[in-house]
Amino acid sequence: MNILVCVKRVPQTGGRIVLTADGQAIDTKFLGHTISPHEECGVEEAVQIVEKEGGSSAVLTLGPAEAEEQLRDAMAIGIDRAILLETTGGEWDPVSTAGAIAETVEAQEAAHGHFDLLFFGNEAADTGDYQIGVRVAVALGRPVINGIKDIWFTDDRHAVLARREAPGGGWETYELPLPVVLGVKEGLNLPRYPSVPGRLRAKKKEVERVALGSSPSGALGLGAGEDSAGLGGAVPGPTKLLLRLPQEERSAAEVIGRGAEAAPAVVDMLERIGVLAR
Amino acid sequence: MATLPDRARVVVIGAGIVGNSMAWHLARLGWRDIVLLEKGTLPSPGGSTGHASNFIFLTDHSKEMTAFTLDSVRQYEELGVFTKTGGIEVARTAERMQELTRRITSSKSWGIEPAELISTERVKELVPFINADIVLGGVFWPNVGVVDSLEAGTLMRRKAQELGALTIGAGVEVTGIDTKEGRVTGVRTDQGDIATDTVVIACGVWSSRIAAMAGASIPLTPAVHQMIDIGPVAIFEHVESAVGYPIIRDVDTNMYERQHGNEFEVGSYAHRAILMDADDIPSIAEAALSPTMLPFTQDDFDPQLEDALELFPEVMGDEKAGMKLAINGLLSLTPDGNPILGETPEVKGLWSAAAIWIKEAPGIAKTIAEWMTTGEPEIDPHGSDIARFYDHHKTAKHIAARTIEGYNKTYGIVHPMEQWASNRGVRLSPFYEREQALGAQFFEAAGWERPYWYGANERLLADYGDRVMPRAPEWESRWWSPIINAEHLAMRDRAGMVDLSAFAIFHVTGPGALAHLERLCVNKVDVAPGRTVYTPMLNGAGGILADLTIMRLAHDRFRVVTGGGMGMRDKKLFTDALPADGSAQLFDATSELTTIGLWGPRARDILAGVTSGDVSHAAFPFLSTKTVEINGVRALASRISYVGELGWEIYAPMEQGRRVWDALWEAGQPHGLVPVGIGTYAVTARLEKGYRAHGNELELDFNLVDAGMARPTVKDADFVGKAAYLAQRAAGPTAILCTLTLEDATSKSGVKRYMLGREPILSRDGKPLTDAHGRRSYATSAGSGPSVGKHLLMSYLPLEQAVVGTELLVEYLGEQYPVTVAVAGATPLFDPENARIRA
Amino acid sequence: MSGPVLAFIEHAGGEPDRLSLEALAFARSLVTKLGAALEAVVLGSGVEGVAGQLGAHGVGAAHVATDARLDDFAPAAWGAAIRTIVAARAPAAVVVAGSERGNEVLAHVAARLGLPMAANVIEVTPGNSWRLVRQRWAGSLLEDAALDAPIRLLSVAPHAVAAAPTAATSVPTISTFAPELEPADLVARVVRREPKASAGVSLADAKVVVGGGRGVGSAAGFANLEALAKELGGAVGGSRVVTSLGWRPHSDQIGQTGLRIAPDLYIACGISGAIQHIVGCKAAKRILAINTDPDSPIMAVADYAVIGDLGAVVPAITAEIERRRAPA
């Protein structure tokens, strides 16, 4: 199996989010960066499949030069090679992002042979756009399914079986002929930590860089219908104007007791709010 | 939400290992109404304690730091939170093997045993997964262990609470410290204010910021220490105890490694120093992990991974073992590497307990608590005293320069005389250009550039031949030159002039000045104007705090002169005791006055050549001062000597100093005057004369009787420590400070070796010497004695050994050398009658 | 006059999905601003009944494709069906629920139409250029954005708007249509279905959720939480830590990379309250935190707190409920 995993570099948030003064980004002064969680599982899955089935794996990201760190993280756990679509000047909108990735996949396949599987995260942790994988699949004319938490193959290796949770519980399994695009979710596997030899190997591997520059949708408020090179006529967007933190409405918790002695007061509360029918 | 009292006897800020230890020791010593404030949550509030590696190696070359650590381990053991694991320091280089022998000698000096040099094979036996091919050997330290510092803190808080002494305020942020007229009056928090006159800052990396709230300075910087945890390691799967192997220090790469469970922790002091501003540390709410566990910067650590992989190929090379945790942990660094302890000079009642590591925290807390309670700590904390800093030490530039330089020396081989390379030239004497022209080799003291020897004196080497006691080994030749000994001999033969600008000088004036000084000094200060007094200062327990000279300039005017190193600490001793009624004042004249020492048999001739005054012995006797006019400068000449020669210290206004220097220089040429460096002044000439130095012979754990400094009579006036001193006199010495001569410097390999100080003194059969108070004998000082033709050591010896002619051994770099007691007590080895001084 | 707003309605068991009704409520406010009509698309065989209920939610016209090929989730095919109506109706906007399926289907619509799509929107202001507020980081962060497109494709963030029927109930006009499906649209199809393992109420739908974090201590420690959830007719979930540690299956994860829930009561047991978890539970009407640490971040979002060891507190609450229920 030849697999390409598309990942995104996102801040490793944990505490309260702080924004930059211009409201255009998260202030990452105190934060490290990571591969967005769903995609970490995609990376792990690709490594496991290649370990079992043979073939090769590649990782791709579209992001700033610093995103090389995440590519090396992926290579540290066993991805074979990496491609960085290097951007400048901040975020790219989802339409432009998907366009650039689709073009790159075609170029990569022309050079290295086709990918049987393209993995995307179900949605990126930061922007949560829920569309990059689908857009790339549509552009490449390949089937795609999202929300995947289980992957295996038909005996002839011509198709993949991909399982996702059904609404309300239970599972539904899809069978898709290769090549295919899958949007994967956390729970697919438990990503491994990089080993020391893996880390040191990753450091020495080449990262293929493609300079993309700034987003083709350009400055804020580019209107529909304007010429957007490279998007195949698609309208880019949405355009980020400003980030802000939601207002927290809750006030401090009312301490209704300490230890087991609090139980009657808790049950009184349950009755009062109506979750405990008498 | 905590309920805070509105009043407290003391507020301790910060509940890491230091704050918890402080709360307990204060409670133990009888303090009540203690409030411990912590911004984070307990038991792991988010400071450096929470990510500490928690292992403890006992030995440090510093006596003070080792004493803190030994006491801490004792406390951890009592709390039941210390697990002995053993530890190995491995050497990859021959130079490191020598350093390990030096560490063993320090251990013996500080009473830490056993400590044995082990072979590569033994290292491999103890740590089967080590790559023995690159290990030359090591030291095995059986007493190394691991502590649960969070549990220790919890237990100490609980013990303080059980005494009814402690209120804990967790989740409370200190927003201000109120002061009035230079004293602490209260602490402001986001949950109410607390009135108190005593505050302890135990805030780790945030200490500077908290101190600044009160207008005080704690010169430290937060800095990054990287560590990773890998696992599960296959070869550890069958290790039965949590820690089944000794902790390893791969000191040549500035790293440590330790197995715990099936994991392996690797920490490093090898990466570039990454400093942070305290204001840039994230808040608890903003931090992804904790405020002091910052995102790992992998690139900085990659070279260390290679080093660790080389030493532990099976563990680090385990393809299934993942890097589970990797952090940039914050710790506190100080410009000289020592902790910052004691009451701040700026604000009374504001105490610092900062830049303290897990290994030393409980011992330091006990020391500070004793200091706060009685002023008489058992362990002498002078090397860590916050009052040691001069203003230039507190600058951001200095802190950054020295912490960056010092960081990679954490496991470094640091020569006892090692000089800092960064931020030099901070304080320059008026003679600096003259000294440069004379090829001065500058050493730093209190920021001053002081010539240690002069290249221009190289010509003297031919005059003195082997009397300069040349040294072949690189180690003893480092930061040393035979020119020092040539200068020494030339001074004793003719005359030398010494730049003493680094002296700290205070003027104490006013109607209450005499009483103030009498109260602090052992010797009688009430002498005639124009006379000079040399005196020690004691604490209440009779421990030696300081020694210095006081010139009585007028009935109500005194000049206190003390060494630059402890100048600011001594200034605080005098300032703190100033009478409340304002009848005495202290002015710091350090930057106003420069000092030149002029000594040697020809000193009188030279001085007479530049001044019209009568400088004969009759007119200008020993320990007297006179104003003299030199080249149009009115200077104060003080007939005194720290080198055992006829001569003077000449005090002149800083901006006129060079005129004095030039006049003396010119007048001295016909007499063979040479410039003499501090190598002679502070080491060789001092040792020949048996003069005691603070920090070497004079420390809190010694007394005047042991030091041979008790005078025949004790003055009538009361002074600090008098009762203890009288009791010491009555009891007699427990040990006697002796001067020893090295009888044969030849090592097994036939090279002559010369001790540099701090080596253990052993009986002839190689046993350590311990006095009735349990104090080990070690060389408090060591150096050449060119005029007596011997290498000299000073050491407190038990009474039995403190007899002239006793034959003993000194251990140095793994070998033992014969020494003989040449002097027991204060009699000088050179010129025992002091005829030269009184010529 | 603006084109209509077209809402896509998911359904199960003959009932419209709760999140789709929330999306309808959102769409209603949009049609008011636009002065447009609200129309709906419902897919699958026998869905007229679902469509009929939509009048109560302001839908004037419902477009129904009763094609059995659309019964199972087939995102490309569902998207093609929506595009069929889009082509016919030229809507100003298409609004879907920000559910897994809703976002996925809308992405297909967007990709095939060459239009931008805004996911997890919580506010929209039509105009020359449409302004919207959408969630990032699962709602930890909001983005003000501009959307410039002839047809605005929006998914509505779960639990951002309450699903509520309108005062004026009407019956929508129901028209069926034949979706234009290509063979490629039907490649991604369900081949096997497995029912839910346990019969209890699902985490997504439970009125009461008992969540456990690292403080539960072990997989076995969840027995106490299961017992309390059973008494309350609720479901058990967990933080990312407990699913990573294998104490609970991944499907039980509440948080940014798991499920976002909106029960009447969320009982957080031994959960410190990392932001990634809080985004998954903050839509709960009320939160009760049980934690030894009164300063843990969960307290900042909780309405009620019990300070103490959950190992003691949770069984005590369960016992108290049983005691009160026991016949006197």
DSSP C97-162: ESSHHHHHHHHHHHHHHT--EEEEEEEEE-SSSEEEEEEEGGGTEEEEEEE--SSEEEEE-TTSS-
pLDDT above 80 (res B119): yes
User: Within 10 A of B670 (CB to CB), how many other CB atoms are there?
Assistant: 11
Q: Pick from B748, B765, B770: which is nearest to B814 by CA? A: B748
Q: Does residue C194 lie in a domain region?
A: no
The pLDDT, as a whole number, for residue A218 is: 54
Per-residue pLDDT of A123-173, as tens digits, reads 999 999 999 999 999 999 999 999 999 999 999 999 999 999 998 888 999
- Find the mean pLDDT for residues B468-474: 96
Tokens of C313: 């507190």
Test C188 with A161 for CB contact under 8 angstroms. Answer: no
C276 compared with C270, residue with greater pLDDT:
C270
B263-319: pLDDT as tens digits: 999 999 988 888 988 888 888 878 888 899 999 999 999 999 999 999 999 999 999
Q: Among residues B521, B532, B416, which one has the least CA distance to residue B61?
A: B416
Q: Parallel, antiparallel, or unpaired for β B761-762 and B448-454?
A: unpaired
Question: What is the model's pLDDT at position B93?
Answer: 96
Q: Which among B202, B219, B174, B198 is positioned nearest to B356, based on CA atoms? A: B202
Q: Are residues C166 and C314 in the same domain?
A: no
Q: Quick check: is C196 in a domain?
A: no
Tell if the CB–CB gap between A193 and B308 is shorter than 8 Å: no
Note the pLDDT of residue B154: 93
Q: Is the pLDDT of residue B353 over 70?
A: yes
Q: Write the DSSP string, B437-490.
A: HTTEEEEEETTEEEEEEEGGGGGHHHHHGGGG----SHHHHTT--HHHHHHHHH
Q: Is B547 a catalytic residue?
A: yes
Do C150 and C255 sit in the same domain of this protein? no
Name A126's Cβ contacts closer than 8 Å, sequence gap at least 6.
A8, A10, A11, A26, A36, C136, C137
Beta bridge partners of B260: B263
Q: Name the H helices within B163-262.
A: 207-213
Instruction: Say if strands B350-354 and B625-630 run parallel, antiparallel, or are unpaired.
Output: unpaired
pLDDT tens digits, one per residue of B355-386: 999 999 999 999 999 999 999 999 999 999 99
Report pLDDT for B677: 98
Query: Residue C3 has what DSSP assignment?
Result: P
Report the C-alpha gap between B687 and B830 in whole angstroms. Answer: 9
Q: Band of the pLDDT at A223, cuts 50, 70, 90?
A: very low
Torsional sign, CA B230, B234, B237, B242: negative
The tokens for A1 are 């199996």
Q: Which fold has domain B10-47+152-221+336-398?
A: FAD/NAD(P)-binding domain (3.50.50)
d(CA B718, CA B149): 45
| B678 pLDDT tier (thresholds 50, 70, 90) | very high
Task: At C171, list the tokens.
Answer: 């019956």
Q: Give the pLDDT score at A26.
A: 94
Angle between helix axes B603-610 and B657-668 (nearest 10 degrees) is 120
Catalytic residue, candidates B25, B51, B225, B382: B225
Residue C82 within a domain: yes
Residue B318 and residue A195: Cβ atoms within 8 Å?
Answer: yes
Looking at domain A2-213, its CATH architecture is 3-Layer(aba) Sandwich (3.40)
User: Would you call the peptide bond into B232 cis, given omega within 30 degrees of 0 as the criterion?
Assistant: yes
User: Residue A231 has what pLDDT?
Assistant: 58
Nearest partner of B708 among B718, B723, B698, judged by Cα: B698
Exposed/middle/buried for residue B616 (C-beta within 10 Å: 0-12, 13-18, 19+): exposed
With beta carbons less than 8 A apart as the criterion, state whether A26 and A127 touch: no
Give C184→chain A minimum CA distance, Å. 7
Nearest to B3 by CA among B174, B167, B185: B167
pLDDT tens digits, one per residue of B739-778: 999 999 999 999 999 999 999 999 999 999 999 999 999 9
CA angle B106, B111, B112 (to 5 degrees): 75
Same domain, C212 and C116: no
pLDDT at A225: 40
Substitution target from B205, B286, B290, B293 for chain A, most A beta carbons within 10 A: B286
Alpha carbon distance A183, A123 (integer Å) = 8
Inter-helix orientation angle B149-162/B17-28, to 10°: 30
pLDDT of residue B315: 97
Name residues 316-335 of chain B within 8 A of A (Cβ).
316-324
Q: At B148, list the tokens.
A: 């649960």
Please report the pLDDT score of residue C1 as a whole number.
61
Phi, psi (degrees; rounded to nearest 5) at A240: -65, 130
Q: Is B681 a residue of the active site?
A: no
| Interstrand relation of A117-121 and A180-184 (parallel, antiparallel or unpaired) | parallel
Non-local CB neighbours of A263 within 8 Å, separated by 6+ positions = A257, C313, C316, C317, C319, C320
Query: Around B770, how many Cα atoms within 13 Å sit in the side-chain half-sphere?
Result: 9
**Cβ contact B232:B348 at 8 Å:** no
Among C243, C224, C246, smallest CA distance to C311 is for: C224
Q: How many CA atoms lie within 13 A of B60 on its CB side?
A: 15
- Tell me whether B306 touches chain A (CB under 8 Å): yes
Q: Does A13 touch chain B (CB under 8 A)?
A: yes
In the predicted model, what is the mean pLDDT of residues B3-32? 97
CATH 2.40.30.110 fits B734-839, yes or no: yes
Q: Let me know if B292 is exposed, middle or buried by CB neighbors in 10 A (0-12, 13-18, 19+).
A: buried
Do C172 and C232 fall into the same domain? no
Write down the H helix ranges in B143-292. Answer: 149-162, 207-213
Q: Which residues contact B187 (CB under 8 A, 6 or more apart)?
A: B11, B13, B37, B174, B176, B177, B178, B193, B194, B196, B199
CA distance B214 to B212: 5
Question: Which tokens is A136 given?
Answer: 């790339």
Average confidence score pLDDT of chain B:
96
Percent of chain B with pLDDT over 90: 92
Residues C172 and C90 both lie in one domain: yes
How many other β-carbons are positioned within 10 Å of the β-carbon of residue B28? 16
Strand order in the sheet with B247-250: B116-118, B137-141, B87-91, B247-250, B255-260, B263-268, B221-231, B322-333, B293-295
Write out pLDDT tens, residues A15-71: 788 999 999 999 998 889 999 999 999 999 999 999 999 999 999 999 999 999 999
Per the annotation, the verdict on B256 as an active-site residue is yes
In a domain, C202, yes or no: no
List chain B residues with CB under 8 Å of A72: 298
Is the minimum CB–CB distance between C291 and chain B shorter than 8 Å?
Answer: no
pLDDT for A142: 97
Question: For a pLDDT cut of 90, what percent of chain A falls above it?
Answer: 77
* Whether pLDDT at B626 is above 50: yes
Do both C213 and C150 map to the same domain?
no
pTM of the complete model: 0.89
Which of the residues B76, B245, B256, B778 is marked catalytic?
B256
**What is residue B2's predicted lDDT score, i.e. its pLDDT?**
54
Q: Which of A131, A191, A120 is nearest to A162 (CA)?
A: A120
> What are the tokens at C254?
């509440």
State the SS3 of chain A: CEEEEEECEEECCCCCCCECCCCCCECCCCCCEEECHHHHHHHHHHHHHHHHHCCEEEEEEEECHHHHHHHHHHHHCCCCEEEEEEECCCCCCHHHHHHHHHHHHHHHHHHHCCCCEEEEECCCCCCCCCCHHHHHHHHHCCCEEEEEEEEEECCCCCEEEEEEECCCCCEEEEEEECCEEEEECCCCCCCCCCEHHHHHHHHHCCEEEEEEECCCCCCCCCCCCCCCCCCCCCCCCCEEEEEECCCCCCCCCEEEEECHHHHHHHHHHHHHHCCCCC
DSSP 8-state assignment for residue C221: T
pLDDT of residue C250: 84
Residues of B in contact with C297 (CB under 8 A): 285
Query: Mind listing the pLDDT tens digit for each residue in C140-178?
Result: 899 999 999 999 999 999 988 888 888 766 789 999 999
What ranges make up the beta strands (E) of B181-262?
A: 183-189, 192-195, 199-201, 221-231, 247-250, 255-260
- Cα-based angle C115, A101, A5 (whole degrees, multiple of 5): 120
Neighbouring-strand partners of residue A150: A163
Residues 6+ apart with CB under 8 A from B190: B172, B173, B175
pLDDT score for B1: 46
Contact call for residues A74 and A35 (beta carbons, < 8 A): yes
Q: Which residue of B has its CA nearest to C272?
A: B41
Provide the residue ranges of all domains of chain B, joining segments of one domain with +: 10-47+152-221+336-398, 82-146+223-327, 734-839
CA distance C276 to chain B (A): 11
pLDDT of residue B342: 98
Structure tokens at C53: 């209920």
Q: What is the dihedral of CA B461, B462, B465, B469, to 10 degrees?
A: 10
Name the pLDDT band for B44 (thresholds 50, 70, 90): confident
User: For residue C216, what are the domain limits?
Assistant: 208-325
Domain boundaries defined on chain A: 2-213
pLDDT in tens, B685-743: 999 999 999 999 999 999 999 999 999 999 999 999 999 999 999 999 999 999 999 99
Residues of chain B positioned with their CB less than 8 A from the CB of C295:
40-41, 170-171
**Structure confidence at residue A228 (pLDDT):** 45
Q: What pLDDT is recorded for position B639?
A: 98
CA distance C170 to B113: 93
With an 8 Å Cβ cutoff, is B279 touching chain A?
Answer: no
Q: Are residues C233 and C144 in the same domain?
A: no
List, for residues A78-129, the tens digit of each pLDDT value. 999 999 999 998 899 999 999 999 999 999 999 999 999 999 999 999 999 9
Residues B579, B584: Cα–Cα separation, whole Å: 6
Number of domains, chain C: 2
Task: Give SS3 for C194.
Answer: strand
- Using DSSP, state whether B832 is helix, strand or coil: coil
Which element (helix H / strand E) includes B35?
strand B34-38
- Contacts for A239 with CB less than 8 Å, ≥ 6 apart: A93, A217, A220, A221, A222, C145, C146, C147, C148
Minimal C-alpha gap between B326 and chain C (Å): 18
Q: What is the pLDDT of residue B696?
A: 96
First to last CA, chain A: 59
What CATH number is given to the structural domain containing C154?
3.40.50.620
- Whole-number Å distance between alpha carbons of B118 and B102: 14
Check if CATH label 3.40.50.300 holds for domain B82-146+223-327. Answer: no
- Give the three-state DSSP class for B415: coil
